[in-house]
């Protein structure tokens, strides 16, 4: 199990990051999930990967509900407008990634989680539905709405800081 868990870590961390939007919070969440798996084990009839993603998601929901202030002002995408004069050293690709990250953070947790599992983790709709504990149709609906919201957000004019 330890070897399989080590192989899952990069994907689990990416998923945690997609939920949190912060590298530090993602590391903490991933660590918490791994600690819980190691402490409590994995039921015999469960696939470790699905179990790990489910634990990660459930821990994040618990933390989110407990704090309700998870997204700090520094993580707020509305405060991270792309400023061409300050970011001129950044490549167009980096600017696009920043815009996609900001758009992802504007999605609701349910849409972001479903989209992350299917697109970033390459899970099937069925596997994502098992992790999220919802019907496959719900996953498909969340992903469709998430994609529509991303397109809408990314096609909106990017505002720059006045005076720059």
Average confidence score pLDDT of the chain: 81
Domain parsing of the chain, residue ranges: 1-69, 87-156
Q: What is the 3-state secondary structure (H, E, C) of the chain?
A: CHHHHHHHHHHHHHHHHHHHCCHHHHHHHHHHHHHHHHHHCCCCCCCHHHHHHHHHHHHHHHHHHHHCCCCCHHHCHHHCCCCCCCCCCCCHHHHHHHHHHHHHHHCCHHHHHHHHHHHHCCCCHHHHHHHHCCCHHHHHHHHHHHHHHHHHHHHCCCCCCCCC
Please report, rounded to a whole number, the percentage of residues in the chain having pLDDT higher than 90.
40
Q: Write out pLDDT tens, residues 85-125.
A: 454 556 777 777 788 888 888 888 899 889 989 988 888 99
Topology of domain 87-156, per CATH?
Answer: Arc Repressor Mutant, subunit A (1.10.10)
Q: What is the pLDDT of residue 90?
A: 63
Domain covering 1-69 in this structure, CATH number: 1.10.1740
């Amino acid at each position: 199990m330890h070897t399989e868990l080590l192989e899952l870590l990069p994907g689990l961390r990416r998923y945690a990051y997609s939920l949190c939007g912060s590298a530090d919070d993602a590391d903490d969440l991933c660590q918490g999930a791994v600690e819980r798996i190691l402490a409590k084990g994995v039921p015999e009839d469960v696939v470790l990967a699905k179990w790990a993603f489910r634990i990660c998601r459930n821990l994040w929901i618990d933390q989110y509900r407990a704090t309700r202030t998870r997204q700090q002002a520094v993580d707020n995408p509305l405060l991270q407008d792309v400023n061409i004069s300050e970011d001129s050293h950044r490549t167009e690709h980096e600017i696009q990634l920043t815009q996609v990250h900001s758009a992802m953070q504007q999605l609701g947790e349910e849409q972001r989680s479903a989209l992350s599992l299917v697109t970033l983790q390459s899970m099937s709709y069925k596997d994502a539905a098992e992790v999220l504990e919802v019907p496959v149709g719900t996953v498909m609906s969340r992903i469709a709405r998430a994609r529509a919201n991303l397109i809408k957000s990314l096609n909106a004019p990017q505002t720059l800081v006045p005076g720059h």
